[in-house]
Amino acid sequence: MPGHDTAAGAAGLRATLVDLDGTLLDTAPDLAFAANRAREAFGLPELPTARVAQFVGKGTDILVQRSLTDALDGRLDPADFRRAKSVFEEHYRIVNGTRSRVFERVPEGLALLRAAGLLLACVTNKPREFTVPLLERSGLLPHLDAVVCGDEVARRKPHPDLILEACSRLQVVPATAMLIGDSANDAQAAHAAGAASVLVETGYNEGESVHDLAAAAGVNGIFPSLFAAAEWILGPAPRPRSPSAGNASAPDTARRGALP
């Protein structure tokens, strides 16, 4: 509960904020299924799951626009967008959480952070209608003190609103919070809010290497998994890997290569 005694984990931290898609879970299979049903309604061929994964990160509306046009900057006319979003949401309600998988050792990583007295919140651009059922089905909801969703704030990531709202609900200041995410959207949102961030390799980052963000403002390190990030946050631990470090054999890494 917000306000409980927090034996700060590392360097005065009181809270850890965690992204959902690509950080806690591999949700691309569910999203791709719903996106392809929307494409099917327009007579378009299916896209590979790995391609749809590149469109994840800026919320449902942008995902639908990108998936229907097969382009990061794609836009539909308003009538087509409304129809496509309706079809997407219809199918996503059915499939949400049925094909997604929790990344390896995520529950253990969250448990480590809680055991250290840190408050935990999930901050996601995903609407609450889909977020809470997904966290419930995956068994992750009990680890969290708060869940803040994209339709509960004025602006989604990369704007700072989600981070600021989560800190408000947890009754902490952003300077005492650390965001674990998987993309530039997460890093930018945390920095704009005045919070630090670390990034994980398990996610999508709109098809770009997360290591391209190693020097981004506020990014404290890049790790193979949430569990590895949690260990570093709590320290003492080895310094985060440099972008040139291979470490492809890290046992707790859930890589996007596993996507169909």
**CA separation for the pair 155, 19 (Å, rounded):** 16
The residue ranges of DSSP E strands in 49-170, in sequence order, are 101-102, 119-124, 146-149
Say whether the peptide bond before residue 29 is cis (omega within 30 degrees of 0).
no
Q: Which of 5, 19, 26, 212 is catalytic?
A: 19
Catalytic residue at 19? yes
The residues that bridge with 92 in the sheet, in sequence order, are none
Q: CB atoms < 10 A from the CB of 78, how many?
A: 8
The residues that bridge with 146 in the sheet, in sequence order, are 121
Say whether the peptide bond before residue 158 is cis (omega within 30 degrees of 0).
yes
Contact assessment for residue 147 and residue 122, using Cβ atoms and an 8 Å cutoff: yes
Alpha-carbon distance values, 77 to 72, 81, 92, 120, 210 (Å): 16, 6, 22, 39, 32
Q: How does strand 101-102 pair with strand 25-26? A: antiparallel
Report the catalytic residues.
19
